[in-house]
Structures are given as C-alpha cells and as structure tokens.
C-alpha cells in the first residue's frame, strides 16, 4: 500500500506539493483553514479533504505549506506520530523547528526543516556541488521570486529585518536590504540586484556544512522594495506567485589544491519548485529513507542525487554555470 | 518654534541623504564568459 501524505495549506505552494505527489502516484489528504481552498485543490489534484487538522495524524507524512509560524503545528503533528516536512522560511520560526529534532528522534519520526526552494533546493544543489570538491570554504545562495501571497509578505518582512550570515566561523547580523550584489540567475531571469535579508538559509546550511567558513544568503529586490521594506506591504502580492530562480555558488579546493568555484541554479515558478521539493522530501520520509530526527537539505544523510533527479523529472529546470563565475560588487 | 523648524529641516535633509545613499549604485558588470546549461544529475 502506498503512503498517504497530508498537505497542510492549499495555497499556491500547497497545490504544487499536491501536483508532485499526484505525479509520483502518492495519495494525498488536504487540510486548510479555508475549507473551500482545500476542496478546490482536491478536485483539481485528487485526494481527500480532511474535516479537521487533527485528522492529519492519520497520514504517514505531512507537508506544512502554511504561512509562518510552523513550529506549533509541527510539534503537534510529531506528537501524533507523523513525519513532518516544513516549507517554512521564517528566520524567527526556523530555530524553534530545528529544536524539534530531538522530539522527532525520540518519537522515531523525521522532521525536515526548510524543504522549499530556498532553503530546500538550495541545500540540495550546494551538496551536489560540494561533492565535486575536496574542501568547501564558502557557500553563497541567492534567490529571486516569491511563491504565493504569504511568501511575498515573508519576502517583504525579510528585507526589513536583520539578516544573519556565517563569516569566518562566527555569526554576524546586518540590516536587511544591505550588501547589494548583482547576481546572474539562470535565463530567462538573468541579472538581478540581491540583498541580505532575514533568511534562515545560513542557519540551515551551516548545520549541513559545519566546516564551511562563510555562508551567505541574499534575495532579489527592486529598489522600491528595499526603500519600502520597513513599511507595510503597499501593493497586494500576486495571487499566483511569479517565476523565480535560485543560484548557489560553492567555493573551495579541488583534490589537487586548485581553487574552484562551482555554480548551479534552477528556474521556474517559485511555488512549483518549493512544492516539488517539499513533496519529494515527504516521499523519502514516508519511505523510511531518512533517519529519524532533524533533517536539513544538504545534509550528508539526505539522498541528494535522487531528490535532484526526481525534481528534474517533476519539471524543475536545474542548471549549471559553465565558465568563470564572476560576481560584480557595487 | 525656531528650534522645531531647524529640527524638521535637519530631519528632511537627513531623509534625502539616506534615500540617496540607499538607492545609489550603477549596477554591475555582467559575466564576461560562460553561461547556463542544463544540469545533468547522475541517477543514484
């Protein structure tokens, strides 16, 4: 009998989760506080609609694709005996989610934290690139685009809040919206100015790559976004999200000691990419391919090659940069 | 009153300077070589 995966949140990203699960032949159970949204998702993508959030406890794994915070819901689902995959990218929420690793391990369950596009696919690509190097010194991630409206609001908050990064073995924080860097994303996105923001990526990548000296994450923004980051969101976000991209740069040394920079990325609708990665993580949880406890994308224990191949099979356009990666600082 | 006007003037000037600093810059230089291509992931 195939696993049943619950999807908590039937928004743009949640529906992408359901689409991938259907593609993989996995049964789906939906719950959303907006019952009509869950029914629409089930009618489009198949699966059953649950009357109560407590019913998710009957599924094998649950993908949490709701706005932050995720920690309370994830703790409840772990207590009910589910594997849980969180697509959360809220810097205030993620440390608490990581703390649930011990709870999950005691319950013989998996909790995957940061299983979207960034964090998520970014960690998988970082591991893929790192495996080609003898030594990993630096990991730099940049992302462009947002999933659904909740993701856009999170992006806006991130630009207006303190950012964290890992630099020469120490954590630092800087104002969101600082540290502009021009980043070339895979086509058709192309170049975009990226800035520091309250992104949990460095926290999670540092767990996966404890020997890396420097880890940073940036998010693209227009100058207007940056200027108004500390104000309420002035324009309503796009209901269906938009096209996004990710770029992961890993610097280190090859086996012969030569300095090497490897760059990979992905492009597509942001919500689709995030949902695909979340769904695939749920599948490996339900199949028992992840060890109990906390898992972050990029960790050694994660079946990275399988996840990337499955993501590509599900339609995620993975790219690699050839030639010399040059980033212009301004 | 005079003090208030001076304070408002100082705040206005500071806002203009802060805005200019925040928006400054002229972009960057594009990569001079290389390009993106499909990533082939070996089957595990």
Query: What pLDDT, on the 0 to 100 scale, is given for residue A70?
Result: 95
Best CA proximity match to A192, nearest among B35, B4, B30? B30
pLDDT at A291 over 70: yes
Of B30, B35, B43, the CB nearest to A309: B43
What percent of chain A clears pLDDT 70, i.e. is strictly above it?
97
Closest CA–CA distance from residue A87 to any residue of chain B (Å):
23
Tell me if ipTM is over 0.95.
no
Q: Do A330 and B43 touch (CB under 8 A)?
A: no
Say what the pTM is: 0.89
> How far apart are the two ends of chain B, measured CA to CA in Å?
75
Query: What pLDDT, on the 0 to 100 scale, is given for residue A132?
Result: 94
From chain B, pick out residues whose CB is under 8 angstroms from the CB of A324: 31-34
| Mean pLDDT along residues A55-72 | 94
User: CA-to-CA distance for A49 and A167, rounded, in angstroms?
Assistant: 46
* A252-265: pLDDT as tens digits: 999 999 999 999 99
Query: What pLDDT, on the 0 to 100 scale, is given for residue A153?
Result: 84
**Could you tell me what percentage of chain B is helix, strand and coil, using 3-state DSSP and rounding each to the nearest 5?**
50, 10, 40
Instruction: Please indicate whether residue B23 or residue A302 has the higher confidence score (pLDDT).
Output: A302
| Side-chain half-sphere CA neighbours of A178 within 13 A | 12
How crowded is residue B44: how many other Cβ atoms within 10 Å of its Cβ?
11
| Mean pLDDT along residues A81-103 | 95
* A24-54: pLDDT as tens digits: 999 999 999 999 999 999 999 999 999 999 9
Q: Do B35 and A321 touch (CB under 8 A)?
A: yes
pLDDT at B25 over 60: no
Give the helix/strand (H/E) hosting A143: strand A135-144
Best CA proximity match to A150, nearest among A82, A212, A194, A93? A93
Of B28, B37, B42, the CB nearest to A319: B37
Residue of B nearest to A308 (CA): B41
B20 Cβ under 8 Å from any chain A Cβ: no
Looking at residue A188, the DSSP 8-state letter turns out to be: T
Q: Do B36 and A329 touch (CB under 8 A)?
A: no
Closest CA–CA distance from residue A6 to any residue of chain B (Å):
27
Q: Do B35 and A186 touch (CB under 8 A)?
A: no
Q: What is the mean pLDDT of chain A?
A: 92
* A137-168: pLDDT as tens digits: 999 999 999 887 888 888 888 888 999 999 99
User: CA-to-CA distance for A298 and A127, rounded, in angstroms?
Assistant: 5
Strand partners, A83: A61
| Mean pLDDT along residues A120-134 | 96
> pLDDT confidence of A328, banded at 50, 70, 90?
very low
Contacts of A78 (CB under 8 A, 6+ apart): A84, A100, A103, A104, A107, A109, A111
> pLDDT confidence of A247, banded at 50, 70, 90?
very high
A306 Cβ under 8 Å from any chain B Cβ: yes
Closest CA–CA distance from residue A207 to any residue of chain B (Å):
24
Chain centroid, CA A136 distance in Å: 21
Count residue pairs from A and B with Cβ separation < 8 A. 79
**Whether A215 contacts A209, CB under 8 Å:** yes
From chain B, pick out residues whose CB is under 8 angstroms from the CB of A328: 27-30
Give the helix/strand (H/E) hosting A5: strand A4-8
Q: Do A324 and B28 touch (CB under 8 A)?
A: no
Best CA proximity match to A271, nearest among A84, A10, A94, A30? A10
Best CA proximity match to A26, nearest among A240, A272, A285? A285
Query: What pLDDT, on the 0 to 100 scale, is given for residue A253?
Result: 95
Contacts of A30 (CB under 8 A, 6+ apart): A6, A7, A10, A14, A18, A38, A39, A41, A42, A47, A48, A49, A50
Q: Do A303 and B44 touch (CB under 8 A)?
A: yes
| Mean pLDDT along residues B8-27 | 77
Instruction: Please indicate whether residue A26 or residue B18 has the higher confidence score (pLDDT).
Output: A26
User: CA-to-CA distance for A27 and A29, rounded, in angstroms?
Assistant: 7
From chain B, pick out residues whose CB is under 8 angstroms from the CB of A321: 34-36
Coil, strand or helix at A119:
coil
From chain A, pick out residues whose CB is under 8 angstroms from the CB of B22: 177, 223, 226-227
* A191-228: pLDDT as tens digits: 999 999 999 999 999 999 999 999 999 999 988 787 78
Coil, strand or helix at A258:
coil
From chain B, pick out residues whose CB is under 8 angstroms from the CB of A180: 25
> How far apart are the two ends of chain A, measured CA to CA in Å?
56
Bin A153: left if φ > 0, else alpha if -120 < ψ < 50, else beta.
Answer: alpha
> pLDDT confidence of A329, banded at 50, 70, 90?
very low
Query: What pLDDT, on the 0 to 100 scale, is given for residue A206?
Result: 97
Query: What pLDDT, on the 0 to 100 scale, is given for residue B44?
Result: 61
pLDDT at A278 over 60: yes
From chain B, pick out residues whose CB is under 8 angstroms from the CB of A193: 27
From chain B, pick out residues whose CB is under 8 angstroms from the CB of A309: 41-44
Q: Which two tokens stand for residue A296?
A: 């972050």
B37 Cβ under 8 Å from any chain A Cβ: yes
């Amino acid at each position: 009998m195939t696993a049943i995966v619950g999807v908590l949140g039937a928004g743009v990203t949640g529906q992408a989760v359901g689409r991938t699960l259907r593609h993989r032949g996995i049964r789906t159970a939906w719950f959303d506080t907006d019952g009509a949204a869950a029914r629409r998702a089930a009618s489009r993508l198949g699966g059953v609609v649950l009357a109560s959030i407590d019913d998710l406890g009957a599924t094998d794994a649950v993908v949490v694709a709701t706005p932050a915070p995720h920690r309370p819901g994830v703790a409840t689902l772990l207590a009910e005996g589910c594997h849980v995959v969180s697509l959360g990218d809220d810097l205030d929420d993620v440390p608490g989610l990581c703390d649930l690793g011990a709870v999950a391990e005691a319950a013989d369950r998996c909790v995957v934290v940061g299983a979207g596009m960034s964090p998520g696919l970014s960690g998988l690509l970082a591991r893929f690139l790192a495996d080609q190097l003898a030594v990993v010194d630096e990991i730099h991630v940049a992302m462009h685009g947002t999933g659904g409206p909740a993701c856009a609001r999170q992006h806006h908050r991130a630009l207006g809040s303190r950012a964290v990064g890992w630099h020469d073995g120490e954590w630092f924080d800087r104002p969101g919206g600082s540290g502009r860097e021009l980043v070339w994303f895979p086509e058709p996105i192309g170049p975009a100015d990226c800035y520091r923001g309250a992104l949990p990526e460095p926290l999670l990548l540092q767990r996966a790559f404890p020997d890396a000296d420097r880890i940073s994450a940036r998010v693209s923004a227009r100058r207007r976004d940056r200027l108004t980051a500390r104000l309420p969101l002035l324009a309503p976000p796009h209901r269906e999200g938009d096209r996004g991209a990710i770029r992961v740069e890993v610097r280190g040394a090859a086996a012969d000691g030569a300095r090497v920079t490897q760059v990979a990325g992905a492009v597509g609708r942001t919500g689709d990419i995030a949902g695909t990665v979340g769904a695939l993580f749920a599948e490996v949880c339900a199949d028992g391919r992840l060890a109990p406890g906390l898992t972050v994308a990029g960790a050694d224990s994660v079946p990275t090659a399988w996840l990337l191949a499955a993501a590509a099979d599900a339609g995620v356009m993975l790219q690699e940069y050839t030639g010399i990666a040059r980033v212009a600082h301004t | 009153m005079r003090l208030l006007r001076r304070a408002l003037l100082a705040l206005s000037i500071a806002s203009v300077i802060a805005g200019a600093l925040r928006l400054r810059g002229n972009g960057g230089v594009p990569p001079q070589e290389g390009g993106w291509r499909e990533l082939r992931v070996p089957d595990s």
